[in-house]
Every structure is written in structure tokens, then in C-alpha cells.
Chain A
């Protein structure tokens, strides 16, 4: 089955700095790559996604980049704010209509 690795597991940044989280996957047939944000005690929520025919997608301060050749994709958060503190999960959709999630990255934005 699909194997998704996410790094780093924790990330501490100063408010206003950028944060980058990277995920690698194993199945070259994977075609959909979402990112979910989970605030403490809350449910995961989709924040951005990208398909395999697109290299980059932006939505205000967040962006996702995809390198299909290297089989990795990354989440970029610019001008971080305290409300960006959360756990972020990448996911991959390969064969079958289901997502495989990475292990998560705990992001702490220090004011």
C-alpha cells in the first residue's frame, strides 16, 4: 500500500517567519495531495489540496508545491501567525478511493 512520510514531526517558528513541511510518498500513481489542519481538541479540516497535473497552488498565506518526479510535496506557510499553531497532516490518494495520511507535524508559532 501507499506509504507517506512527513517531516518534521515538530516545528517551532517565530511569528512572521515561514514554515515548511514536507511529505514523501511511495506510489507513483498517486494523483491527489491534500493538507489538513487540526487545532488542539478539534477535528481535522482541509486547508489546501493539489492534483498531480499541477505543480503549485496558493491560497493567501499558504501554498503547496508538488514534485512528481521526486515523489514529494510540501506545505508552505508564510508570515506565520499564532493562529497557525496546530498539527498539520499531509495525505495522498492513490489506488482506491481513500486517503493515506502522514504522521503529522506539530507547528508552534511563538509570538
Chain B
């Protein structure tokens, strides 16, 4: 699904640094989501957005900031990275013609290591 892309694919950073993960989709999907994937926890929702300039917290929002100034972009920022934020991060989008937030299309993920 080339329609949703994440960058970088891999990222190594140090504790205390700010990191931004990028997500871009070309489908004009209204809904976009950020999940983190950790062993034993499945996929946990960090933040989501129903449209440009509309964002809301998910299950595990602490330490993260999002913005959505344009429909196609939904960056995720770790303001001051901690080791507990080492994870694989997936961005996803949902087409408006389905029930909102249902059929998710995932990006290829960003593997983040915080040393």
C-alpha cells in the first residue's frame, strides 16, 4: 500500500532528545492514527485525528505530541524521548466511505530505539 508512507524506517536516538516520526498518505483519508507495538501489548493507540486540525488522545498519549495541519500529514513527536518509548510505531489511515475508524491501512512502521 504505497498510499501511506512512514519515515524514517529506523531511528536511534538518546534519552532527552526530541524525535519526530513522519506519516504521509495520498488517499485523502479523513481519519489517521498512531499506534505503538510492543511485545505482549499488541497495538496501543497513542493519538488519532478525525480531520485536519482535529486530534484526540488514545490509550497511551503521555510524552507524545501530534499535529495535523494538512489532511495528508500526521507527524508524531516525542518531546523528550525516554527508553520506555523504544517501540515500533505504526501510522494508519481509514477511508471515509467506511464506518469511520474501521478498516485501517497501516504504514510500514518506524522502529525507534531510545538509548
Q: Contacting B106 at CB < 8 Å: which of A1, A45, A91, A104?
A: A45
A103–B59 contact, CB under 8 A?
no
A102 to B101 Cα, complex, angstroms: 16
Query: Total A-B residue pairs with C-beta atoms closer than 8 Å?
Result: 60
* Main secondary structure on A side of the interface with B: strand
Q: With A98-B48, A103-B40 in contact, is A43–B59 under 8 Å at CB? A: no
A32–B42 contact, CB under 8 A?
no
Within the complex, the shortest CB–CB distance from A81 to chain B, in Å, comes to: 23
B43–A44 contact, CB under 8 A?
yes
Q: Contacting A98 at CB < 8 Å: which of B41, B45, B103?
A: B45
A60 to B40 Cα, complex, angstroms: 29
Chain B CB count within 10 A is highest, among A34, A36, A101, A102, for A101
CB of A93 within 8 Å of the partner chain: yes
Residues of A within 8 A of B48 (CB): 97-98
Q: Contacting B42 at CB < 8 Å: which of A45, A96, A104?
A: A104
Which residues of B, 85-115, contact A by the 8 Å Cβ criterion? 90, 94, 99-104, 106-109
A98–B43 contact, CB under 8 A?
no
CB of A78 within 8 Å of the partner chain: no
Q: With A89-B42, A103-B40, A103-B42 in contact, is A97–B101 under 8 Å at CB? A: yes
Binding site for A on B (CB under 8 A): 1, 31, 33, 35, 40-45, 48, 50, 56, 58-59, 90, 94, 99-104, 106-109
